[in-house]
Structure 1
């Protein structure tokens, strides 16, 4: 049973990411890997800085595993087509529309997203501003990471579908069918994607999206098998099992 750390959705909050890494350094297990569960961009002001920090950490040899989230994938698809609408969004929205937060990501790259500029103008500037190295890094992110004790993924897993047959859209987007399921996957499923007020542990899964994209703290976790401890300024807090409710 090897310890491993995990961090949920960051959403462009570089200060929160730096604090979470400091908490792992101070209260975590020395040398244990860190899995980042995706959604590095959108809504917050510093998406570019978040990606740069993660890329630099990996390049420096840190044992960091970074998964792809739906917002990260949305950035790539926007750069190919500014009018792309992901069918998994609950209503028709462009990535640059306010609920999704893509405009904040572009602004972090120095793109002028002021009202009145055309979609085509903003897109042309974005293709120039987002470094190819960042695009290549995002495109190469794994969608899932497995250990002997955990399965890490951005959004979740489709019950009744073998792990090797899971669809990418489910791995980065699923809610209904997964969140309310009591299915035991044989290992703890660790995910983000669905924002809560704070991370919650349900026995079969751990949701680490504590709402950093909406201004709440980014709380890192230490996992030892199915034992979950949140890392805060005063140390480790073992997380009990919450009641499963429907979504």
Structure 2
């Protein structure tokens, strides 16, 4: 069984499908998705539907929340707020609404909202901690700070004693593909590994979605085709 990790799909369902085909994902594998399924890309609804279809067809799919899902939930439940307008205008919520053929956030079907609301904040898989954005190592137990799991950037301080040999794999902060390769190659020395290849950003050698296999540490890249 292979254990694949993918993050920050951002509405790029064709790219996601192409990457799943490239890695040969099947029912004997496990797939861990680290959040940010929605916003910016053209088909957030399609990404969520594909993830749900895989789960319903007995594929082993495990989903984490990303900060974009949290912003979407806030917009749905408080659609008249400044935060909801910010989501729609500045961080890709407009593209998400169009994919649902919705004008206002509360028009998105409850089916999708419940699916997102039931997602976890982190997973522990073998020697790995999987999370969307990273951990706050300034607190005694980093697994208690859920806000940091969604929003933190720039892991300059790492509590190696607390990790005790474990490795954090996350997304959230876009990196050039070569940097992601280096992150994985150096994970024993620097055990906080960012695998977000900036799928929706056609600049700075990004514009890719990548999958990391946790056992072999193989990386597979798929250029954006949406």
Query: The TM-score by the shorter chain falls in which range?
Result: 0.7 to 0.9
**Could you tell me how far apart the structure 2 residues matched to 1:70 and 1:156 are?**
12
- For 2:130, what is the secondary structure of its paired residue? strand
For residues 163 and 32 of structure 1, do their structure 2 counterparts lie closer, same or farther at Cα, with a shift above 3 Å needed?
A: farther
Match of 1:218 among 194, 209, 212: 209
Partner residue, 2:195:
208
Cα deviations by residue, 1:181-205 (Å, 9 ceiling, x for unpaired): 3433231101000011122334202
| SS of residue in 2 equivalent to 1:146 | strand
Superposition TM-score, scaled by structure 1 size: 0.77
Structure 1 match to 2:6:
7
Structure 2 distance, partners of 1:80, 1:102, is 14
- Kindly tell me the number of residue pairs found equivalent between the two proteins: 206
Compare CA radii of gyration and give the structure with the larger one: 1
The aligned residue for residue 77 of structure 1 is: 74
**1:206 CA drift (Å):** 1.7
What SS does the aligned partner of 2:214 have? strand
Q: Which moved more, 1:46-55 or 1:152-161?
A: 152-161
Out of 143, 146, 157, which is 2:124 matched to?
146
TM-score (norm 2): 0.83
Structural RMSD (CA): 2.2
- Which SS does the other structure have where 2:197 is aligned? coil
| CA separation of 1:182 and 1:168: change in aligned 2, threshold 3 A | closer
Displacement of 1:161 in angstroms is 2.8
Higher mean displacement: 166-175 or 37-46 = 166-175
Match of 2:109 in 1: 131
Does 1:20 find its partner at 2:19? yes
Q: Distance in 1 between matches of 2:88 and 2:29?
A: 37
Q: What is the match of residue 52 of structure 2?
A: 55
Cα distance in 2 for residues equivalent to 1:84 and 1:133: 25
Gap runs ≥5 in structure 2:
none
Following superposition, the deviation at residue 232 of structure 1 comes to 4.5
Deviates more, 1:72-81 or 1:160-169: 160-169
Q: Which has the higher helix share?
A: 2
| Counterpart pick for 1:187 among 157, 166, 169 | 166
Question: Are the counterparts in 2 of residues 3 and 29 from structure 1 also a CA contact under 8 Å?
Answer: no
Structure 2 counterpart of 1:95: 87
